[in-house]
Structure 1
Amino acid sequence: MAHGSSGGIRDRVDDVQRWFSEFGRHAYTRVSPVPLDDLDGWSRDPVTGNIHHHSGRFFTVEGLSAQVPDGPVPRWTQPIINQPEVGVLGLLAKETGGVLRVLVQAKVEPGNRNGLQLSPTVQATRSNYTRVHKGRAVPYLEYFREHGRHRVVADVRQSEQGAWFYRKRNRNMVVETAEDVELRDGFTWLTLGELYAMLA
């Protein structure tokens, strides 16, 4: 396939979108509201009213009072997620045949449109990747933790969704490897041209 031509990129993007849709038909979540008291390990603090996990990890849901005197709404209160730990949003890159590609995943999470979104190679909070929830290990995390074996192209802390998270920061990383990379289910490689086309 001619990755250099716009027609080739469009064909490849169509292929990726078909793969993404097919993956979504087999990997989905079902979300149902449940009372807070039915959640294992989660409770409301009787003094502050904050919602927290018994481990002290993940996040807390707290009340926020905001004041912007010159804004269209000068004052308001709202719930906000306080998650002081720094997560990792990482793209793994590898050059093959003279073409640089990045590894992306079809990620299933509650809150995603149709339950599914195209995500970086690694998208995980510290509580997730240290497995506080006793869940599965985060695939490809080692490429972003073992810097001596790979080339760190970018490693920048950036804020995330300030309207919903209180001062949350993530490490936005791009890491290039020369090693062979096992392609796991739910992941695919995109050239930069294909990635830009999908972002558009």
Structure 2
Amino acid sequence: MNTLKQAAIDRYPTSLRMLHWVRAIVIAGLLWAGWYMTGLDDEVASKYELYYPWHKSFGVLAFLLVLVQIALRWRTPTLPQPPQTLAGHERFLSRFVQRSMYVLIVAVPLMGYSMSSSYTMSDGVFFFGVNLPELLAKNDDLFVVFQWLHKVLAYTLLALIVLHVAGALKHRFFDSDPRNDVLRRML
């Protein structure tokens, strides 16, 4: 019985696992689209007619998904902790990377929203065809700041995602202690 109880705590609930993977796919697509669309010439019609509106919609979706995930994590009394078999620095790094990713997954869409809201030439902030209210005054000087923050924070998020994935794969395939396999908790 104790083993079954421990196994339940050693794996994230289905709702959090599903949100994790959906959010991961959405964010991977957003990072790729952001990189790709900003590299397109301004004369390419799809840059502003396709990529920017969809990037905004999926950015809002990523923001909403992370808010739901944070609420579910907060309401879930017991979640798996980094295995005690990991080295102390690995447990620290695991917590630091995970918390930093949550902060950035909230901050990056907020900076994107702030960019769109403050840019004088913006068509607004869309969420799959629905215009969201623009809460910031049009100000191109602020737009430049939000644009820089959006870019820097998105690349920082990408670096943390690479570290997160590399750590999970390292523990799964290279650690000698099978209890270090943290990936199975999300599968």
TM-score by length of 1: 0.26
- Structure of higher RCO (CA pairs closer than 8 Å, 6+ residues apart): 2
Q: Which has the higher strand share?
A: 1
TM-score by length of 2: 0.27
Q: Which has the higher helix share?
A: 2
Looking at CA atoms only, which structure, 1 or 2, has the larger radius of gyration?
A: 1
